[in-house]
Structure 1
Amino acid sequence: MSIDRVISHMTTIAELSATTANHPIHKRALLDMYFAASPEILTVDADIQPAVVGDLACEWVIAENADINRRILYVHGGSWMAGSSISHRPLTARLAKACGCAVLAINYRLAPEFPFPNGLEDIIHGLQWLRNHSPTGEQPAEQVFLIGDSAGGNLSLAAMLALAEEPKNLPDACVLLSPATDLNYERKGFGSACDNDPIISELVLPYIVAKYVQEQGDLKNPLISPIHGDLKSLPATLVQVGEREILLEDSVNFVEAAKAQGNEHIQLSRWPDMPHVFQGFAPILPEANQALEEINEFLRQI
C-alpha cells in the first residue's frame, strides 16, 4: 500500500535524524529527502525560474495552466532550521498545477543562525513583494494567497497577525498544512496521535523551539505561538491536518480558538491515518491528490 511505503520512509528519516542528535546540518540534509518516498513523487511538471526577493534567492514554480495574476507565496516547513524551495519543489509544482497559480517558493533565513524574528520578517517582505511582482516583472496581482506547512504554517500565521493592522496587506486567503500554532511543547495532551506519528517525537519539540526562539523566550508571544493572537480578523483560512501526527492538536485548538473569537472564515479539514504534511506525497498517496484538489476548490471560492 502507498501509505505503508510513506510511513516506512518517514520512520527511516526519523531514525537517521535521531542518530545525529537533530543537528541542524544533518537535519537539512534529511529534510531534502522528506518527500522522496518514490521516484514518482520527485517528478516535477512545472517551469522553475529563479527570483531574487530582497537578498533572498527564491524560485517561481509555474505550471502550464498558471494564471500569473493569481499568486501563491509558499512557506516551506522544516523545524525553522531546514527545508528550501528545492526540498519542497515536488509539492509546490503540484500546487501550482492544481490551483492554476504562479507559486513563489521563498527561501527565508533559517535558525539557529537566524532565529526569530528573521524568518518572519522575510515572509512579511515576501508577501509585500509578491503583490507587485510576477514571473515576468513588476505587475500588480489580482489575488495573493499564502500557503505554509508545519513551521512554515507557523510563520504564515505570524505574518498575517503582524500585518493585521493593515488589512490591505493581508493575503486574500491562506492554507495551512499541519501548522505549529502553540510552541509551548512542554504541555501535555498530545493524545494517541503522539504515539502514531512516524516522524516527529514530542521529546524533540522543545529542542527545536529553543533553536528557533533562542533569547526571545516568551512562548505566548502571538508572533511565536499564533494561537495567542487576535484571530478574528484573519482572512479565509483552510487548515489541513492528518490524524496520525503529533501536531493534530495544534490545528484543532487553533481553529477552535479562532471560531471562539468570532472568525467565521476558518475551516478545519482532518484526514484519517495521514501523517505530517502528507500532501507532499502525491501522486502515490490518493489522499494527497484529494487534498490538493480541496485546496484548489477552496481558493477558487475566494
Structure 2
Amino acid sequence: MFWLILAALVLMALLTRFWLRGSNHSHLDTPLPDCPPATPDEAQRRVLGRLAEFNRMERNLPFRQRVDAMRQMLDQLGDGKTFKAHFRPLVTCDAHGHSLDGEWVMADGADPDRRLLYVHGGAWMAGSAYSHRTITSRLSELTGMAVFAVNYRLFPEHRFHQGLTDCQQAYRWLLTNGPHGPAPLTSMVIAGDSAGGSHTLALLAWARDHRLRPADAAVALCPSTDLSFTSPSLRANLASDPMLGPAFGALTRVPRPLLYWGLWVLARVRAADPAVSPLQDSLANLPPTLIQASETEMLLDNARRYARKAERAGSPIELQTWPHMVHVWHFFTPELPQAEEAFRNIARFLASTVPASTGPKNNASTADTSRPSGAIL
C-alpha cells in the first residue's frame, strides 16, 4: 500500500509539473520598477473610491453572486458617458452555421474595410461589448477603424475553450465581412484587455498556426498571458493593485499545485495550454504588438515576461508601462489623463504599423446606445 501511495504521489507531481503547469519562465524576470507611493490626484481618488465601493459590496458574496456583481459593475463603468461612435448590435451565423454575437462600433468617418476585433476582459467571467464601449468607441474614434466587439461565451456557464472558439470564429468572419456585409478588408487589428488581452495574444499564434491572414498589429491592455501563477508581481504588487488585489489576492495564498488541479477539475483549464497561457506558446513570427500595463498591478510581470520572450523570438513588440495606474485604467477616460495618453500611444502605434485608409467610405449607421441584443450581461 505504501508503494502504491508513493507511486500515486510521484505521478501527481509529474503531471502537475509537466502537464498542468507548463514551462518555467522565471529566467525572463528582472527586478520590478521602483514605483514609490504617490498621493493620488482628485481624478484618481474618484476612481479608487468606485473600486473600493465595489469591493466592499461583493466581499462576502457567494461565488455565483460575486460573478453577477462583477458583471453589473463592468456594465456600469460607462454610465453617464457620451460616446462619439455609433453602435450596431449583430447576432448572425457564419458560413459554417456557428453563431456570432457582438456589436459594430464606428466613429464618424471610420473605414469599414479597416477592421479591429476587440476582445473584452472580465476574468473570462464578466464583460461584454456593452461594458467596454468606453474603450471600443475611443479606439474607433482615434484610429478611424471599424471596431467589432465580440461577445464570447463566459465561465461558469460555458467552458473556457468555448469562449476562445467564439473569438476565433469572429476573427475568421472579419476577414471577409464588414459592418455593411461581405467585403474584403484592407487591414486587420486585434485588441483586448486583461483576460481579453490573453485571448488577443492567443489569437495571434492561432492565426499563424492555421495559416490564416495575420493581423497587421495587435494591442493588449494589461493582459494575463499566463495562468501558472509564478510571476513575481502577483505577490509583490498585491497591496498596490486596488482592482485585482481584493478580487483575486486570496489565490496567491493557495499552494500552486492545488490551483493547477482546481483549474483542471473546475474549468478543464491547464496553465500549460497556450490557449489559456499564450506565454507558453512559440512567440516567433507574430505581427507587431503593443502591450500596455501598470507598474503597480499584479499582472505586470505577466506582460513583461511575454514582451521579453517575443522580443527574443524576433517578433516586433513594444511594452509601455505607467506608474500608479489601476488595472485597465483605459476604462476611465477622459477622467484620467493617463488613459488619454495611453489611447494616443495606441493610435500612434497603429498609425505606424497598419495600412492607412484608401479613401472615404460609405459608413452611415444609426446610433444605438441601448444594451445590444444578445449581449452577455
The TM-score normalised by the length of structure 2 is 0.74
Q: CA deviation at 1:211?
A: 6.6
Q: CA deviation at 1:254?
A: 1.0
Alignment CA distance shift 1:148-1:235 (3 Å): same
Maintained 8 Å contact 1:66/1:96: yes
Q: CA deviation at 1:48?
A: 0.9
Maintained 8 Å contact 2:233/2:299: no
Distance 2:352 2:263 in 1: 38
Q: Match for residue 26 of structure 1?
A: 69
Q: Match for residue 8 of structure 1?
A: 49
Q: CA deviation at 1:240?
A: 0.5
Answer with 48-57 or 4-13: which moved more: 48-57
Secondary structure of 1:230's aligned partner: coil
Q: Match for residue 142 of structure 2?
A: 98
What code does the residue aligned with 1:32 have? D
1:21-60 aligned at under 5 Å gives the runs 21-23=62-64, 24-34=67-77, 39=80, 42-54=81-93, 55-60=99-104
Maintained 8 Å contact 1:178/1:251: yes
Q: Which has the higher contact order (CA 8 A, sep 6+)?
A: 2
Higher-Rg member (1/2): 2
Q: Match for residue 114 of structure 2?
A: 70
What code does the residue aligned with 1:227 have? L
Q: Match for residue 218 of structure 1?
A: 270
1:58-207 aligned at under 5 Å gives the runs 58-185=102-229, 189-201=233-245, 202-204=249-251
Distance 2:47 2:75 in 1: 15
Distance 1:173 1:159 in 2: 12
Q: Match for residue 266 of structure 1?
A: 317
Distance 1:7 1:212 in 2: 34
Q: CA deviation at 1:230?
A: 0.4
Maintained 8 Å contact 2:264/2:270: no
Size of the aligned set, in residue pairs, is 297
Q: Match for residue 25 of structure 2?
A: none
Q: Match for residue 293 of structure 1?
A: 344
Maintained 8 Å contact 2:113/2:178: yes
Alignment CA distance shift 1:187-1:94 (3 Å): closer
Query: 5+ unaligned residues in a row in structure 1: which ranges?
Result: none
Maintained 8 Å contact 2:135/2:331: yes
Q: Match for residue 230 of structure 1?
A: 282
Alignment CA distance shift 1:35-1:192 (3 Å): farther
What code does the residue aligned with 1:19 have? N
Alignment CA distance shift 1:89-1:299 (3 Å): same
Distance 1:208 1:246 in 2: 19
Question: Displaced runs of 4+ in structure 1, greater than 3 A?
Answer: 186-189, 204-215
Maintained 8 Å contact 2:118/2:136: yes
Q: CA deviation at 1:178?
A: 0.3
Maintained 8 Å contact 1:183/1:209: no
The TM-score normalised by the length of structure 1 is 0.91
Maintained 8 Å contact 2:118/2:147: yes
Distance 1:137 1:219 in 2: 38
Maintained 8 Å contact 2:193/2:221: yes
Q: CA deviation at 1:35?
A: 5.1
What code does the residue aligned with 2:345 have? E
Secondary structure of 2:283's aligned partner: coil
Q: CA deviation at 1:227?
A: 0.6
What code does the residue aligned with 1:96 have? S
Query: 5+ unaligned residues in a row in structure 2: which ranges?
Result: 1-41, 94-98, 354-377
Maintained 8 Å contact 1:79/1:208: no
Distance 2:85 2:264 in 1: 32
Q: Residues 50-103 of structure 1, C-alpha deviation per residue, up to 9 Å, x if partnerless? A: 212432331101101311111111100001011001111121111110111111
What code does the residue aligned with 2:54 have? I
Q: CA deviation at 1:192?
A: 3.8
